[in-house]
Amino acid sequence: MGKNSIIDNLFYDNKKGSLLYKGTRYLLIRPETIIGFLKAVEESLKDEAGEKFYLGGFRGGFFSTKRYKEIHNFSDKEIIEFMMKMGAEIGWGKFSLMRYEPKENILEVSVENSPFAIFYGRSDKGVCHLIRGVISGMATALFGKDCQAEEISCIAKGDNRCVFVVRKNC
C-alpha cells in the first residue's frame, strides 16, 4: 500500500460521523452510486446531465485550488502538483500534468484508471464530467478567468486514458 497524505491526515469525528481533511469535509462514496445518479439524470436531461455533474466538479476544483493554495502557501505550479497528487489519493485515478503554459492559459492533464469511465461502461463521448469540472475549476482559479476543459480522450470511448485540455487563452 502506498503512502497517502490525504488519508493519513483525515480526521474522523465519530460523534458526528464526519471525515475532515484540514477542516474540509470529505465523504467516501462508491462509483456505482455516482454513475447510477448520472445515468438516472441522463434519462431525463440527456447531455445536459453531464453539464450538471461538470458544475459540481467545477465547484469542488475551484474551491480546493483556492483553499489549499492559500493554506499551504503554494505557487501555481505547486498547487497543480498538489491537486494531481490529491486526485490519486482520493481514488479518482492517476493524474499527470502533461502541459502547463501559464502565459497562454494552457493546461493539459491526463488521468489513468478513472473510476467514472470504468463504472460507466462504453460511450461515444467522454463521461468523466466530475474530473473535467475539477480541472476547469482549477484552471479558472489559476488563470483568473472562466476556463472550460474538454475531455478529448476517455477510457469509456476505448482510449487508454482520459485527457483533459484547457485550450489556449481559454
Query: What contacts 10, CB < 8 A, 6 or more positions away?
Result: 19, 20, 21, 26
In the sheet that holds 106-112, the strands lie side by side as 94-101, 106-112, 162-166, 150-153
The verdict on 163 binding Zn ion (CB under 5 A) reads no
| Count of residues that bind Zn ion according to CB under 5 A | 6
Instruction: Single out the segment in contact with Zn ion by CB under 5 A; choices: 26-34, 91-99, 109-117, 142-150.
Output: 109-117
List the one residue out of 166, 161, 89 whose CA is nearest residue 128.
161
Instruction: Single out the segment in contact with Zn ion by CB under 5 A; choices: 13-21, 59-67, 101-109, 117-125.
Output: 117-125
Determine the residue type at 87.
G
The verdict on 117 binding Zn ion (CB under 5 A) reads yes
Instruction: Single out the segment in contact with Zn ion by CB under 5 A; choices: 33-41, 64-72, 88-96, 121-129.
Output: 121-129
Per the DSSP assignment, residues forming a β-bridge with 24 are: 21
String of contacts with Zn ion for each residue 142-161, x by CB under 5 A = ------------x-------
